[in-house]
Structure 1
């Protein structure tokens, strides 16, 4: 009976999160400098996706479909991917503070993307997402090596991540200062703080498949992720091919992070805060945790984007500012809880 009740609770949480995601997508398309009624948003979606033929103002329909809805979908993909990456890294590293932003993966991805865009690294063979992936993997390798040299303490990887993040941020700033025009520099620095202003439907062609494939890969390895909670040796004793699974999941987390950074810049603390919030809802079993984490992350990012567009009249804040205002206090709280444990 308890198991049935638990399953019903998880199912209810997933359904509630899906409903919230749908509502958030509609709100993201309706709310902005020019408010558009929710019913117009729904009719626009019906017209564009199902050929419903509702008579609508061309301007309203264009704003909803061409600008706001694509932006909301990208925000959802970004929130889901970064939250999933955080949940996976926290499990693999057995550290509640693990997050792509804190570990320097986002900073490495930013450096890779900027190097391709401004310096032409890859001789035209590398796109910005591929450059971001190379940078993200390089950052994780560097941080891991620094952590190994620093010792086996649980905070070593976090301290190494902070150091790696600062180093890659410095490299990015150097590249921008040396190679970008003043106008390019302003645009890149705003993008680095998290910017959804330039995303359109073609970008969904990258963000949505990466998010879905990343989620499926993570769900395929839920048994291994549960086993890692008890340590690598315990996972190996259960038949988990530890090194192989670690490489697959780290590359998956890096790829999700890199794809989102290449589209919207470096957005912090989503991967830290959202997995902990999801654990409060459905517990620590990854078969339940990962879908809810993705959905909650998607909803949170859409709401953060709405807030970034409306909190100051006539201006758009970088979305990274909004997430940092939420994430920084949460980071301090989680750190305090971690130190309070015996």
Structure 2
């Protein structure tokens, strides 16, 4: 299928040559006229995918309760930045702010900041937050945050940042590019850029021809920005995404449209492009910038350790069978390890600045 963006990219490639996968991802997601986030409503049952906050209020309530405890452990700084990177429709922040009513001092000290470049999504977030978002400030980039203590949440934010891919060929590791096949359709090709052995993960020497290794300079730069802010001003960042705990060889680039997997090259601008997050690389970049990275865990372990089962019991107490079943199904989807469940696929990394104090359910390392 030819899309308007696909035609634009094909013409560019025909004129100037293949483009890196990272550039292709960026164009597909952020092209000002035809990019995915410029045109589509991706979230919820009527969109292309459902995020954890859209599954149940329990997710945001547990994240909010964790944030309140983190703020207390850090000495109750006032004011502080309560920030979210990539807030989607604003559902998670709305649930966090509602949970903040448990501690009026926390809510009074919090200055809500949302990192969102899309004008369309900013409007949606403002509507979702309503009165709870009174005084909220929007920023285009994390670099724009004021120099204050920070409590940051980033749920399914890093996965959409572009990655570079390198493919093993008979001539060594070469950068994977998007070019054109004999019929003029978009196709993967091997480009001239290479990777040295020191830049590849353990086990790369035994990878077969055609194997793919991903690096994500854009993600690591964002992690370094977060780490530097935490180091300089204190605070905590909770990063939640699907991915792997150790750097490894593997092609994880994927496209999703209508809740189904799609060909990443088939419909540029109409499908969401993401790849799995390398949490080891993210932690390494943040710690190099001065933050402390607590040992990461699965989303299921985090939510259960932070009290989702107890909260679900209270939420369902006295409710009818249908409501209780809905709550149980939501907990299973958020915490379970089976097909279609998020508990094992998604990981949670906690970054801290100085003086953060103990933060259960994370260990001190």
Same fold per TM (> 0.5)?
A: no
Which structure's residues are more often strand, by fraction? 2
Question: Structure with the greater relative contact order (CA < 8 A, sep ≥ 6): 1 or 2?
Answer: 1
TM-score (norm 1): 0.29
TM-score (norm 2): 0.27
Which structure's residues are more often helix, by fraction? 1
